[in-house]
């Protein structure tokens, strides 16, 4: 990967999945830097698809040990719009949405804000299940994590 302005460029691809919503859920994340890749996945017994989408991005960011230029690619408009459009209003309004109701998944949004702070993060949306290789792989990782958890339980 190129280094510009002394920041290493990192790509994070992420996806979440749920078997039922709510229900058992999983996430899959791929980190790519300097030609190397690392895959992450995990699962939760009772969660939502949106929580798994946020968790996938969060777990990717948590892997970074120094400031980077990061592109996060996801098929979740909820995640992209939340981080690029809705967040300032939520924070300004005391974590209330446009209907004056508490923002769902506030704990994960706040964790994403903190995890993003040291980095220059660009959020990129791709259409899900449309043949994007890394998005498809993340979906597979998420679904395999759900299956593995269900076998253990």
**Which residues does residue 65 pair with via DSSP β-bridges, in sequence order?**
none
Burial of 100 (0-12, 13-18, 19+ CB in 10 A): exposed
- Neighbour tally for 55: CB within 10 Å: 25
Q: Is the pLDDT score of 150 beyond 90?
A: no
3-class DSSP state for residue 149? helix
Q: In this predicted structure, what is the pLDDT of residue 14? A: 98
CATH no. for 3-81+112-152: 3.30.420.10
Q: State the pLDDT confidence band at 153, using cuts at 50, 70 and 90.
A: low
Does the active-site annotation cover 107?
Answer: no
Catalytic one among 11, 16, 42, 82? Answer: 16
31: left (phi over 0), alpha (psi -120 to 50) or beta: beta
- Domain spans of the chain, in order of start: 3-81+112-152
DSSP secondary structure string for all residues of 76-109: -HHHHHIIIIIHHHHHHTTSB-TTSSBPTTHHHH
Q: Phi and psi of 65, rounded to 5°?
A: -100, -5
Catalytic one among 20, 39, 46, 129? Answer: 129
**DSSP letter, residue 35:** T
> Per residue in 82-140, pLDDT tens?
999 999 999 999 999 999 999 999 999 999 999 999 999 999 999 998 999 999 999 99
The model's pTM is 0.93
Q: Is the pLDDT score of 1 beyond 70?
A: no
With tokens 């791929």, the residue in question is 30
Q: Which two tokens mark 122?
A: 């660009």
Does the active-site annotation cover 101?
Answer: no
Q: In this predicted structure, what is the pLDDT of residue 2? A: 45
3-class DSSP state for residue 103? coil
> Per residue in 9-64, pLDDT tens?
999 999 999 999 999 999 999 999 999 999 999 999 999 999 999 999 999 999 99
Q: In this predicted structure, what is the pLDDT of residue 151? A: 84
Q: Is the pLDDT score of 4 beyond 70?
A: no
Catalytic one among 28, 75, 82, 134? Answer: 75
**DSSP letter, residue 96:** B
């Amino acid at each position: 990967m190129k280094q510009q302005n002394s920041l290493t460029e990192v790509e994070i691809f992420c996806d979440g999945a749920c078997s039922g919503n709510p229900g058992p859920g999983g996430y899959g994340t791929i980190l790519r830097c300097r030609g190397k890749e690392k895959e992450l996945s995990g699962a939760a017994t009772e969660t939502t698809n949106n929580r798994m989408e946020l968790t996938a991005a969060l777990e990717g960011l948590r892997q970074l040990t120094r400031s980077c230029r990061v592109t996060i690619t996801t098929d979740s408009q909820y995640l992209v719009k939340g981080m690029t459009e809705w967040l300032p209003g939520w924070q300004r309004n005391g974590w209330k949405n446009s209907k004056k109701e508490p923002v769902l998944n506030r704990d994960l949004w706040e964790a994403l804000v903190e995890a993003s702070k040291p980095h220059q993060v660009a959020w990129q949306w791709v259409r899900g299940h449309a043949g994007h290789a890394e998005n498809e792989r993340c979906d597979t990782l998420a679904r395999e994590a759900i299956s593995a958890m269900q076998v253990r339980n």
